Amino acid sequence: MYWKELVEVQNFGFNAITISAIIIVIFSILESWGIYKQNKKIWDKKSGESVSVAWFIYFMFMLFSYFVYGIFTKEAAIIINGLASLFVVPIVVGLWRFKGFSKIDFFVFLLCVLGFVVMLIFPFKKIMFLLFSFGSILALIAQLVEMHKTKAVGVIEIKLIRVYLVSTAVFVVYSIFVNDWPLLIISVLSFILLVIILLSYYRFMAGSTFNDIRSTTYYNRIKIGFSSLVKKWKGSEAVFTEHTLEIEGHPVMEDWEDGYMKELAEIACMNGGDILEVGFGMGISSGYIHKHDILSHTVIEANEDVYKRLVMFSFIAKHIIKPLFGFWQEITKFIPSETFDGILFDTYPITKEEIHKNHFPFFCEAFRLLKDGGVLTYYSDEIDSFSEEHINCLRRAGFTDIQSMVCVVNPPQDCKYWKSDRILAPIIFKGRKGGE
């Protein structure tokens, strides 16, 4: 019976072998939990943003090698540790699907397969086990580089990093205790790298103020940069393709939002009457607004090229359009209070401070401009619920009936400004109580 030959079974009792085996098993379970959480995050968000593919390919094969080594040396704890590899397999599949493998990732994969086959066939298993363990240092460096390249936390699961850090710390102590120098070197180097990864995570997280996938889109916009002269936006070239609109290098609008725009138009037009729209973009929401039974449609647009398209649209549109050129901040003050039955607001952040929050300063104006019972909707920048800051902002503006619905969207993987498969459609009424 193989199990009777296991080192732990033969030496069972109050001794170093049993205690270390218990410690390894406990941390293997914790590590598996961290890996499971990481896997869930990648598949939930359908993204591999800021996660190093090479790291997880390597991690998977390293754990495979532990399994083989454990079988060979008849150490149950190492076999159990190696079994955690089963949780890494779906991570690698997810990364392959949502992020793709680079040439380096393919190279790491082939190298690992080769190393693993050598380990299976040849007797020098201890050497291969140590090689795999030492290689993990390089794999951790790959993760660090990936984070610094994207300057974002993306879908990194911090619970995994924390668990990994604690278990590495335990291995540092353990290797000193059992006088295992190779293990001590690997553990100390891994520990240092994991501390740097953890600190980098908090640094990028603090910079973004979003502790979800929006930290990535936040940094994408920072990387593109903003002109110090906000007014320049008006005269900047608007680059239209069949599916996108780009201004000053920013992805201002993309047509995967079509279904969401349809929903927003439906909300804005639920009372019929006079509708205000802020930000014409590709005219998708405008098109949907004109499918409803309304009296008039006032549109404010701040970019000259886009405004020209708005004027063209007004010639062929079904209902009366009043196109207004300029930033809403310059224009709405000339519009009397209680003019509109519905408002659809969808501009674009033109400064760093506005990222994912460009609608907040508009709420007070929206409240003033709406008739009693009028409805406000907008591109929310929220995934499936309002943040506390968002709700407070609406309340401060005077809104008390705050409702919403979640729309399912499918942005392409390379979309720079939205990464989730859900986005909230706000339904905010003036002068009514309820909702939330």
Ligand X SMILES: C[S@@+](CC[C@H](N)C(=O)[O-])C[C@H]1O[C@@H](n2cnc3c(N)ncnc32)[C@H](O)[C@@H]1O
For ligand X, give the closer residue by CB, 249 or 431. 249
Closest separation between CB of residue 424 and ligand X, Å?
Answer: 16
Q: Is 268 in the site for ligand X (CB under 6 A)?
A: no
* Binding flag, residue 428, ligand X (CB under 6 A): no
Q: How far is residue 368's CA from residue 3's CA, in Å, rounded to a whole number?
A: 76
| Minimum distance of ligand X from residue 150's CB (angstroms) | 24
Question: Applying CB under 6 A, does 139 fall inside the site for ligand X?
Answer: no
Least distance in Å: CB of 306 to ligand X?
Answer: 4
Task: Say if CB 340 and CB 373 are below 8 A apart.
Answer: no
Asked if 301 is part of the footprint of ligand X (rule: CB under 6 A), the reply reads yes
Query: CA-to-CA distance for 407 and 425, rounded, in angstroms?
Result: 7
Residue 412: burial class (beta carbons within 10 Å; 0-12, 13-18, 19+): exposed
Q: Find the angle CA(48)-CA(51)-CA(56) to the nearest 5 degrees.
A: 100
Residues 6+ apart with CB under 8 A from 157: 34, 37, 38, 40, 41
Determine which residue in the list 38, 85, 168, 303 makes contact with ligand X, applying CB under 6 A: 303
Task: Specify the length of the chain in residues.
Answer: 436
**Do 376 and 399 form a contact (C-beta atoms < 8 A)?**
yes
The reply on whether position 306 binds ligand X by CB under 6 A is yes
- Shortest CB 348 distance to ligand X, Å: 4
Q: How far is the CB of 350 from ligand X (least distance, A)?
A: 6
- CA 175/CA 193 separation, integer angstroms: 18
Q: What angle do CA 17, 21, 23 make, to 5 degrees?
A: 120
> Which position's Cβ is nearest ligand X?
281
Question: If we measure between CA atoms, which residue out of 214, 245, 256 comes closest to residue 417?
Answer: 214
If we measure between CA atoms, which residue out of 114, 126, 136 comes closest to residue 75? 126
Query: Pick from 51, 160, 252, 321: which binds ligand X (CB under 6 A)?
Result: 252
Distance CA 15, CA 350 (A): 65
Strand partners for 276: 298, 343
# of chain residues touching ligand X (CB under 6 A): 23
Select 161 or 253, whichever has its Cβ closest to ligand X.
253
Kindly state the DSSP code that residue 207 receives in the 8-state scheme.
Answer: H
By CB under 6 A, the residues from 344 to 383 that bind ligand X are 346-348, 350
> Considering the complex, what minimum distance in angstroms separates the CB of residue 281 from ligand X?
2
DSSP 19: H
Residue among 82, 283, 342, 411 that touches ligand X (CB under 6 A): 283
Quick check: 323 binds ligand X (CB under 6 A)? Answer: no
| 8 A C-beta contact, residue 371 and residue 430 | yes
Nearest distance from residue 210's CB to ligand X, in Å? 19
**Could you say whether residue 328 binds ligand X (CB under 6 A)?**
yes
* From 280, 325, 378, 386, residue interacting with ligand X (rule: CB under 6 A): 280
- Regarding 313 and contact with ligand X (CB under 6 A), the answer is no
Choose between 136 and 347: whose C-beta lies nearer to ligand X. 347
Q: Is residue 261 within the footprint of ligand X (CB under 6 A)?
A: yes
Cα angle, residue 44 at apex, residues 262 and 146 outer, rounded to 5°: 110
298 forms part of the interface with ligand X (CB under 6 A):
no
Stretch that binds ligand X, among 170-178, 315-323, 342-350, 420-428 (CB under 6 A): 342-350
CA distance 349 to 355: 5
Smallest distance, Å, CB 349 to ligand X?
A: 8
Q: Rounded CA gap, 51 and 39, in Å? A: 11
Among the listed ranges 158-166, 176-184, 272-280, 314-322, the one in contact with ligand X (CB under 6 A) is 272-280
State the nearest-atom distance from the C-beta of 353 to ligand X, in Å.
Answer: 13
Question: Is 342 a residue that touches ligand X (CB under 6 A)?
Answer: no
Which of 57, 63, 158, 282 is in the footprint of ligand X by CB under 6 A? 282
332 touching ligand X, by CB under 6 A: no
What residues contact 315, with CB distance under 8 A and at least 6 apart? none
3-state secondary structure of 274: strand
Could you give the CA distance from residue 203 to residue 284 in angstroms, rounded to a whole number? 38
Cβ closer to ligand X: 31 or 254? 254
| Rounded-to-integer distance, Cα 262 and Cα 268, Å | 10
3-state secondary structure at position 122: coil
**Based on CB atoms, which residue is closest to ligand X, 252 or 393?**
252
Answer yes or no: are the C-beta atoms of 137 and 190 closer than 8 Å: yes
Return the range that interacts with ligand X (CB under 6 A); candidates 63-71, 83-91, 143-151, 325-333.
325-333
Q: Which of 78, 95, 278, 424 binds ligand X (CB under 6 A)?
A: 278
Identity of the residue, 175 or 347, whose beta carbon is nearer to ligand X in the bound complex: 347
List interacting residues with ligand X (CB under 6 A). Answer: 252-253, 261, 278-285, 300-303, 306, 327-329, 346-348, 350
